[in-house]
Structure 1
Amino acid sequence: MTEITHRFVRSDSGLRMHVAEAGEGPLVLLLHGFPECWYSWRHQLVALAEAGFHAVAPDQRGYARTGGPAEAREYSLLHLVGDAVGLLRPLGADRAVVAGHDWGAPVAWATAQMRPDKVRGVIGMSVPHRPRSSRPPVESMRRLFGDGYYMVRFQEPDAPEAELDRDRAATFRRMLYAMSGDGPAPALVSPEGGGFLDVLPDPEKLPAWLTADDIATYVEEYGDSGFTGPVNWYRNLDRNWELTTAWHRAPIGPPALFIAGDRDIVSVGAGQVIDSMTDFVPNLRETVWLEGCGHWLQQERPAEVNDAMIDFLRAL
């Protein structure tokens, strides 16, 4: 069995980042989402290594063993892209294929858009590339979904992370189950006077792809870092809009692959964006839909995700 090893690497952005890695060969950078860490790529690290690639999954800024700065403004998309690009040289590579899931997908798309000279290919999972909107996103989401929508609620100071940190095992259990293909695919709008987790049921039994040991690992990995750093990503939504003016509707040139689950409320809700994605990702090679799969693609359906990734990588 291929071993996953761990070390700390100082990105050229200046951030000391924990990475999990396996294999040798062309670099594939695996960027996790919320509320995850390197562990969400455990199946891909091994499979990609055995297919002849150097697979590296960092804990991104603010997450798990990497941790991060205290100021929310230091979690902008430019910081996140800088962290990713800044890992290449310390990892011994000039270029990489960048794969991202959930929040990691916008970082991967933006890395390919802003630094195509560093990106051999880009793989997005769950979240398609969305061209920059004509107005800041938070107020638009407030008008569409109300004050209880989780991305709007996450703009508040202190309260969101306090709720998520209160019982981390319950937070991971509820989130990973509810948004999976086995869960109820809830609307992510808190009831009046309630919290984000109130709309996420606690499962009586974990789905087959998720174990109690997996939940315990996530809890342990979050250690002292907690949820403040991850929530800070959301607190930069409007600032990201301001900072990315120079890339307004700019195309993404590198070869691309998109993978989604047909029971993922994020992907299904973005169906029109996915259908028109080649307008801004002209070299999109394929869109792969996984039947019956929810939001956590690479954990729910590792074999299918691995096959799609490896086929794409070998064709580059």
Structure 2
Amino acid sequence: MTEPALIEVNGIRLRTWTLGDGPLVILVHGFPETAHSWRHQVAALSAAGYRVAAPDVRGYGGSDAPEPVEAYAMEEMTRDFADLATALSPDPAVIVGHDWGAPLAWNTARLFPERFRAVAGLSVPYAPPGDHAPIDIYHKLFTEKDRFFYQVYFQDEGVAEAELEADPEDSLVKFYYAWSGDAPEHGWPTDKKHGDKVLTGLTRPDLPLSWFTQEDLDAYAAAFEVSGFRGPLNRYRNHRRDHDFLKAHPSNPIIQQPSLFIYGDRDPVLTMFRTPPEKLLPATLADLRGVHRLPGIGHWTQQEAPETVNRLLIDWLRAL
């Protein structure tokens, strides 16, 4: 990717890579990644005739990292991307998100329909707010049964930060491998107890993997050496705040813009949803134009299967 620029949005600056000319497509990464996760898509989409913007999300890499937990609420972060779209194009943009970037993309499209003409998610399907905040559901399903769940573990400020920041390179590569399609069964352990640490039981793989090199790990580790993990983890600490905000917001919870969903059949995220995406999403996305299940692929969808993801995205974009 070319050299990034710091773009002012919503009172902060996002380090953003841009490439190409044409209709704007914003790519929103997840946890624990950076804009580097879109390295294969930036070139492909720009070559297909689009202007592509890949920011480090607030709290990550070279973007600003406010201290307060509430600075990472859905209300704030969706406005980041609306402002970024306004800064980069006078016309409505397309937004694509992966992992935490997927709920951010889905809800940015919901909250700012005038700025976004289409939305795609990878790994995490869209789900309007229900009767209870997700963290309260996780406590019932896991904490009350003395079972470990990483999002519960992430709630206490400073705890996960201390574990992950002790050796960012080791933390990241174990996390990536455990959630990938390359990991063995139970590579992400399911038998841990409440109170265990997130890295307990995770294996460090030998590199390179078919989709991930030492150079990729170096790029991620260097970014987290700068940013630390507090900002990224603060996203998980806003479940109740986000639930209350989205539940009360007057916008239509059924997303109206053309949409697309791509996921891997070995993604642990699938265990968090009782209903398969193919059955879940037609009720929540009014103009769903495809649900694509990628065999053998884990959580890191666009990194593990870049050629397939690029083809699906470009075909969808051209048909808009």
- Smaller-chain TM-score bracket: over 0.9
Residue 159 to residue 77, structure 1, CA distance change in 2 (3 Å): same
Residue 194 to residue 100, structure 1, CA distance change in 2 (3 Å): same
Provide Cα deviations, 1:193-239, integer angstroms capped at 9, x if missing partner: 53101132212444211111110110112232110000000011111
The one-letter code matched in structure 2 to 1:81 is T
- Equivalent-residue separation in structure 2 for 1:161 and 1:190 (angstroms): 19
- Equivalent-residue separation in structure 1 for 2:257 and 2:100 (angstroms): 20
Using the TM superposition, give the Cα deviation of residue 115 of structure 1 relative to its aligned residue in structure 2, in angstroms: 1.1
Using the TM superposition, give the Cα deviation of residue 266 of structure 1 relative to its aligned residue in structure 2, in angstroms: 0.7
- Equivalent-residue separation in structure 2 for 1:273 and 1:69 (angstroms): 36
- Equivalent-residue separation in structure 1 for 2:134 and 2:167 (angstroms): 30
- Equivalent-residue separation in structure 2 for 1:205 and 1:25 (angstroms): 37
Q: Write out aligned runs for 1:1-316 (5 A).
A: 4-11=2-9, 13-146=10-143, 148-184=148-184, 185-187=187-189, 190-191=192-193, 193-247=195-249, 250-267=253-270, 269-270=272-273, 272=275, 274=277, 275-316=279-320
Task: Name the count of aligned residue pairs.
Answer: 313
The answer to whether the 8 Å contact 2:119/2:260 transfers is yes
The answer to whether the 8 Å contact 2:12/2:64 transfers is no
Partner of 2:257: helix, strand, or coil?
A: coil
Q: Point out where structure 2 has 5 or more consecutive residues left out of the alignment.
A: none
Partner of 1:223: helix, strand, or coil?
A: helix
- Equivalent-residue separation in structure 1 for 2:68 and 2:83 (angstroms): 20
Provide Cα deviations, 1:65-111, integer angstroms capped at 9, x if missing partner: 10311111111001110000010122133311000000000000001
Using the TM superposition, give the Cα deviation of residue 136 of structure 1 relative to its aligned residue in structure 2, in angstroms: 2.1
Superposition RMSD on alpha carbons, in Å?
Answer: 1.7
- Equivalent-residue separation in structure 2 for 1:128 and 1:54 (angstroms): 25
The answer to whether the 8 Å contact 1:180/1:293 transfers is yes
Provide Cα deviations, 1:267-306, integer angstroms capped at 9, x if missing partner: 3543615112111102010001111000001101100000
TM-score, length basis structure 2: 0.93
The answer to whether the 8 Å contact 1:170/1:202 transfers is yes
TM-score, length basis structure 1: 0.94
The answer to whether the 8 Å contact 1:265/1:294 transfers is yes
The one-letter code matched in structure 2 to 1:157 is E
The answer to whether the 8 Å contact 1:65/1:222 transfers is no
Using the TM superposition, give the Cα deviation of residue 188 of structure 1 relative to its aligned residue in structure 2, in angstroms: 6.1
- Equivalent-residue separation in structure 2 for 1:87 and 1:189 (angstroms): 42
The one-letter code matched in structure 1 to 2:258 is P
The answer to whether the 8 Å contact 1:19/1:59 transfers is yes
Partner of 1:89: helix, strand, or coil?
A: helix
Partner of 2:285: helix, strand, or coil?
A: coil
Deviates more, 1:261-270 or 1:243-252: 243-252
The one-letter code matched in structure 2 to 1:254 is Q
- Equivalent-residue separation in structure 2 for 1:233 and 1:195 (angstroms): 19
The answer to whether the 8 Å contact 1:251/1:282 transfers is yes
Q: Point out where structure 1 has 5 or more consecutive residues left out of the alignment.
A: none
The answer to whether the 8 Å contact 1:28/1:96 transfers is yes
- Equivalent-residue separation in structure 2 for 1:188 and 1:88 (angstroms): 40
Partner of 1:244: helix, strand, or coil?
A: helix
Provide Cα deviations, 1:48-72, integer angstroms capped at 9, x if missing partner: 0100000111011111110311111
Residue 127 to residue 221, structure 1, CA distance change in 2 (3 Å): same
Q: Percent identity?
A: 39
Partner of 1:123: helix, strand, or coil?
A: strand
Partner of 2:310: helix, strand, or coil?
A: helix
